[in-house]
Structure 1
Amino acid sequence: MAQESVTQNTQTIMDGHEDEHVSSKNMLGPLLCWAVVFADIGTSVYYTPGILYQTVQGLAGFFVFLTMSVFILLALKYAEVTHRFPQGGGVVTVAAQAINPWFGAIGGMFILVDYFLTAAISSLSGILYLSVVFPAIGGMPLALFITVGVLILLGVLNWVGISESAKVSLVGAVVAFFSNIAILVTVFTHMSLGQIFELIPEMFKSHTLTPLSFLAGFAGSFLAFSGLESISQLSPVMKQPHKKVAGIALTLVVLTIGLTSPMLTIFSTLLLPDAARSEVQSAQIISLLAGHWGGQILQTEVAISASALLIFASNTAIIGAYHVFIALSRMEFLPSVILQRNKMRGTPHISIALATGIPIIILFLVWGQINILGEMYAFGLLGAFALTCLGLDIVRGRELRRARSQKRTARIVAALPAEEHKATEVHDLMKSNVQPAVTTEHGNIGGQVSEVDEAGTLWFKINFGLGILTTVLVVVAWGTNLITKPLATAFGLGVTAIGMSIAYYNHTRHQKEGKVPVPVVVTHIRDTYPDTTLAVLTAGNPHNGAVIRAAINNADEHTPIIFLYLAGKRPRQVAPRMMEIIDPYLDDQDAKDTFSKAEALAIKAKVPNRTYVYLQEEPELATQIWQSIHPRDTLVAIEDDAQFKDINPDRVRYELTPEGKVAHLLKRW
């Protein structure tokens, strides 16, 4: 049994059952989820037309329309991410589960690059839009200094602990959406249908479309859809069922963005080409479009609402960044000092300082030139998109293989004489690693049989194919930007290299201190593992060492060991905060120390096949897991064997270790 690459993160909402200790009134429904995402992604239209115009001129709107199709495919994948990974974390969680934790760390670096630039470009753009109303603040370096002041203020507010509210997002998102619709209605009422259609050939007059420019425009226009990743960060605060809520929310996002972003880009770049060429006016272009066709009142309203929403998006990026810093630190990739909280407010002041300070440094380095910030943007955004898409494809592929294995087993059983059905069914079920459902009050602990069933459907196969197509398109866009946007590549690779160097240093230091990190921790039991050794460990148990040592002593190269840690129910007393990554395992120091000891002994004994399972359940659940896994040997501390009285072995033998006596519950299935 090869060690599976599965999630490092554990959920407090398990198998669709919301923790009864967390009030559902604080959870977000479809409308509020739409508001949070639209308040992020909807701000891109305020600066994207001007930035895109610098490279593709009048074709900016064409490329936004073109990329809209990929955006829809991406939305389908991110909707699935929200219900497959309800603990949040987005690319960090997906990459860690699908590939391994190091790829989760790389994904974390990618999304941090995106957050840094989002905070910088959104706050600067917000001030430039406000300068439409107050022209005195629009010049450099005053606009830069005001932007830095805004970022410092946002950092202070996060330090104080004033959290972002989805209801405030709703107000801002609704105002921004209807403002955009008002602009479009105004333009349409001032132009005939024929004049509007004349804009289509006008797009292609100013720029020759070659294969290279086509790829560059396609890749660059993804900037118009930055913010989609926010939906995956909302999973812990999303109402159940995640699949339905995320589906409705992203449908609303696609509709509202689709109705506004492409047309606003076309109108602003083709009807106001002089403004699009100007570095300052291009960062105010949607407000100027409103003023050109709707008058001073609409221009002022759009400028103020855009400014507020852009600054709000900057704050969202700061919140997302410091939660990613915290997650990577809890995963022991970044120094533990990042986890420190100040005694006065109880907020993670160091991670907040990093999330605020780095965008400020970036702003000073480019001296407030928004077009340069746009050029730097592509690396982290598309890197996070690509890694998330690839990770989800890998997870889907595993389920498809399990579904095919299940069908093969069913065909073999059906072809046998009736009297051989039962014996063969059990044998081949174990052989193919597909187990029956074991339903308990906690949900389907025995495995996601429903997911396996779903993987055999025609829709799943179509979705799988579309997902691979999406991944290819995103990777092509990312690869193109790596070549055509050298500044973005240099900045993104630089930040990622620094972050991964720190991660490697931390990893090495922990190993020297005797803390051996566990490569992968499983948080769901999905398959039957026949002929395995199951070592049951429980929270705070002084005899866990005896169980670990006995399992290692009896290991051989052909018998995999499953180290199962049952943490007990520790209900969360407060609702999770927006953008927070819920990860009980990484907060459980006893579990991490126990697994670290097991990993160190396994490496020393050269045990090749080992899996670590962490569940927030009581020890009594071990019986149901035993029935699901079908282990050959189950090890429990003799002092605790009364807790496992319902396990029905064929025989029991005892082993004495320096750390205590262990019972071997042996079973031939």
Structure 2
Amino acid sequence: MLMKLKRLLIGRPLKTNESSNQKLNKFKALAVLSSDALSSVAYGPEQILIVLMAAGSSALWFSLPISLGVLILLIALVLSYRQIIFAYPQGGGAYMVAKENLGTNFGLTAGGALLVDYILTVAVSISAGTDAITSAFPSLHEHSVTVAVVIVVIITILNLRGLTDSATLLSYPVYFFVLMMLIIIGGGFFAAFTGHTAPIHQHAAVGTPVMGVSLFFLLRAFSSGCSALTGVEAISNAIPSFKDPAPKNAARTLLMMGGILAALLAGIVYLAYWFGVHPTSDQTVLSQLSSNLFGRTFFYYIIQASTALILILAANTGYSAFPLLAFNLAKDKYMPRPFKVKGDRLGFSNGILTLGALSILLIIIFEGRTENLIPLYAVGVFIPFSLSQTGMIVHWIKKRPKGWQGKLMINLLGALICYLILVIFFLTKFPQIWPVLIFVPIVVTIFHKIHEHYMLVAQQLRVDFSDPVPTIHVSDNIIVVPVAGITKVVEQSLTYAKSLSGNVVAVFVGDSPEAITKMNQEWNEWDPGVRLVALHSPYRSIVSPLDKFISTVKYKADMRGATVTVVFPQFYTKKWWQSLLHNQSGVLIKASLIRHKDVVIATVPYHFKK
């Protein structure tokens, strides 16, 4: 029953060689990976106006030069991350750049900040979209947390179905939102130059002197407007998700995203100034613009619906980037190994499920009101921004390829602006962002603890090929030993198996011909005196191929009156929490084999001392 429900929700499992069908083209990738950045048009300009309004409506003209500064930073970031895409085509973004050029701790700081930021992306986006829904349907307001949790579950299931399915469905509302924004901008410019629509308030002329406006005040407004740049880095983290040539397609997608975001941001800010839009608590800037241009017509509600939808779908950027970043960290042994495992639909399902669960937890803790997390969300983005820019500066100085001076200047400009914004954040919003000084060191410490454990495990499991494999007295029973590699645990299990019978066979299940070839070569080099049978599993399942093999062996053994014994190599960690860092495939295999009659299941334990 559960399996049927799983197939209904997620779909049929895909073979490993079908992974190319799950790659994204540029237009689908733009929708999946840019929804967070594009959705910031709905709140980025408003954040600038809210700060400026404290000095009076005559200060709102400063939104024009401030937005120009935001666009300059956007250009610097886009050009920088475009360079990162070609320099680090395996993905990983800020984590890989900082780790390789600045050192492990800087890389882990960037990676940890991004992981937490992607969790905040989902929680903040879903909560903002839920607010839009409950505003339209006030009766749902008291159930806002439930609504938000249901939306997270739906998006999680959609991503578990695979990149292609989620991208196909999500591309329509993203491009629909872009179309609505272009209609607002186009209609606004037409109304402004023809005088067809009267402004809401008269705007102050550019250059009007305003009392109380200082450089620090303008920098504070600039830092608030930089919230529109969240999500710019997502494409560089997800390069492996693109169709070949992946780096080239990712770079073009990044340029498309940057161009669209720049056009929408500049257009909305200019129209907000021209029509004298004042930020209010009960109506957004986009709502005021669209109602002034089109009235409270059906078209106005379509625009509002598209805005609410893009805010919800902005969460999908987190679902696209979090699993891939977690994979890169797990590959370097800084996160649990299960984050490297692909699910039935060839996505990193453990990362997707973890992100969904943590986002739901955050929504429940803050009761769907995550406004206070937005500054933390923004500073969490600019930490990896700053480290990636600095890392690329070091990269160009070390490598010095052709034309490196111009590339260095791009990263130098981006780094200076990012560090300036971080300083402004800490000076003006410290009461809201101080937790970053606690959680980032905690996350980095956890990464190091995980890495230390894996290093100790590798040290204890390493087999010395020069040592002879012990030989012992044998009997006629058939012994099957499932193996995942050549380790101390396997060596101990084979020694025990050969003490029971002279008919011992080791079984390895590989998900690719390359993995099987490599295992056969290493096994022949080791030569433990036991025959190895390598099984290919195109669906990456270990249980099913092994179960079928043992059924075949059991059938032949019954004809001879022999007994089949399955000897499981099993290691046990010193501390309970360390067991969570390892795949528990042996438990699943044992559960499957219990249904076989007269198959003896034996476990050979190996206890770690460290």
Q: Is the 8 A contact 2:121 2:315 kept in 1?
A: yes
Counterpart of 2:73 in structure 1: which amino acid?
V
- The aligned residue for residue 183 of structure 2 is 182
Report Cα offsets for 1:558-604 as digits up to 9, x if no partner: xxxxxxxxxxxxxxxxxxxxxxxxxxxxxx9779x9xxxxxxxxxxx
- The aligned residue for residue 300 of structure 2 is 299
SS of the residue 1:477 aligns to = helix
Aligned alpha-carbon RMSD (Å): 4.1
Counterpart of 1:83 in structure 2: which amino acid?
F
Give the C-alpha shift of residue 543 in structure 1.
4.5
- The aligned residue for residue 425 of structure 2 is 481
1:38 paired with 2:15, answer no
Report Cα offsets for 1:89-122 as digits up to 9, x if no partner: 2112222222333332211111123212211221
Matches within 5 A, 1:19-58: 26-57=22-53, 58=60
TM-score (norm 1): 0.59
Percent same amino acid at aligned positions? 19
Give the C-alpha shift of residue 187 in structure 1.
2.1
- The aligned residue for residue 232 of structure 2 is 228
Q: 1:203 to 1:235 in 2, by over 3 A?
A: farther
**CA distance in 2 between partners of 1:220 and 1:354 (Å):** 30
Give the C-alpha shift of residue 155 in structure 1.
3.1
SS of the residue 1:107 aligns to = helix
Q: Is the 8 A contact 2:32 2:316 kept in 1?
A: no
The structure carrying a bigger helix percent of its residues is 2
**CA distance in 2 between partners of 1:301 and 1:212 (Å):** 39
- The aligned residue for residue 392 of structure 1 is 392
- The aligned residue for residue 560 of structure 1 is none
1:117 paired with 2:120, answer yes
Counterpart of 1:327 in structure 2: which amino acid?
N
Give the C-alpha shift of residue 397 in structure 1.
1.4
Counterpart of 2:407 in structure 1: which amino acid?
N
**CA distance in 1 between partners of 2:407 and 2:115 (Å):** 29
**CA distance in 2 between partners of 1:619 and 1:348 (Å):** 25
Give the C-alpha shift of residue 134 in structure 1.
3.4
- The aligned residue for residue 358 of structure 2 is 358
Give the C-alpha shift of residue 51 in structure 1.
3.6
Give the C-alpha shift of residue 488 in structure 1.
4.8
Counterpart of 2:74 in structure 1: which amino acid?
F
- The aligned residue for residue 290 of structure 1 is 290
1:213 counterpart (212, 217, 225): 217
1:105 paired with 2:105, answer no
Matches within 5 A, 1:394-413: 394-400=394-400
Report Cα offsets for 1:182-209 as digits up to 9, x if no partner: 1112222333478889746379677843
Q: Is the 8 A contact 1:132 1:300 kept in 2?
A: no
Q: Is the 8 A contact 1:386 1:471 kept in 2?
A: yes
- The aligned residue for residue 267 of structure 1 is 271
- The aligned residue for residue 310 of structure 1 is 311
Report Cα offsets for 1:119-168 as digits up to 9, x if no partner: 1221122223334643544x4x4334422331233334445668653344
SS of the residue 2:92 aligns to = coil
**CA distance in 2 between partners of 1:375 and 1:148 (Å):** 23
Give the C-alpha shift of residue 468 in structure 1.
1.4
**CA distance in 2 between partners of 1:476 and 1:467 (Å):** 14
Give the C-alpha shift of residue 229 in structure 1.
0.8
SS of the residue 2:435 aligns to = helix
Q: Is the 8 A contact 1:82 1:246 kept in 2?
A: yes
Counterpart of 2:35 in structure 1: which amino acid?
A
Q: 1:323 to 1:480 in 2, by over 3 A?
A: same
Counterpart of 1:41 in structure 2: which amino acid?
A
**CA distance in 1 between partners of 2:35 and 2:326 (Å):** 23
**CA distance in 2 between partners of 1:86 and 1:393 (Å):** 18
Q: Is the 8 A contact 1:126 1:308 kept in 2?
A: yes
Aligned residues, how many? 456
Counterpart of 2:256 in structure 1: which amino acid?
L
1:470 paired with 2:470, answer no
Q: Is the 8 A contact 1:39 1:172 kept in 2?
A: no
Counterpart of 2:399 in structure 1: which amino acid?
E
Q: Is the 8 A contact 1:366 1:373 kept in 2?
A: no
Counterpart of 2:419 in structure 1: which amino acid?
V
Q: Is the 8 A contact 1:60 1:221 kept in 2?
A: no
SS of the residue 1:170 aligns to = helix
Give the C-alpha shift of residue 243 in structure 1.
5.4
User: Over alpha carbons, which structure has the higher Rg?
Assistant: 2
Matches within 5 A, 1:79-478: 79-131=82-134, 133-137=136-140, 139=141, 141-158=142-159, 165-192=166-193, 199=203, 201=205, 208-242=212-246, 244-268=248-272, 271=275, 273=277, 276-278=279-281, 281-282=283-284, 285-295=285-295, 296-336=297-337, 351-369=351-369, 371-400=371-400, 455=401, 457=402, 459-478=403-422
Q: 1:247 to 1:512 in 2, by over 3 A?
A: closer
Give the C-alpha shift of residue 259 in structure 1.
1.6
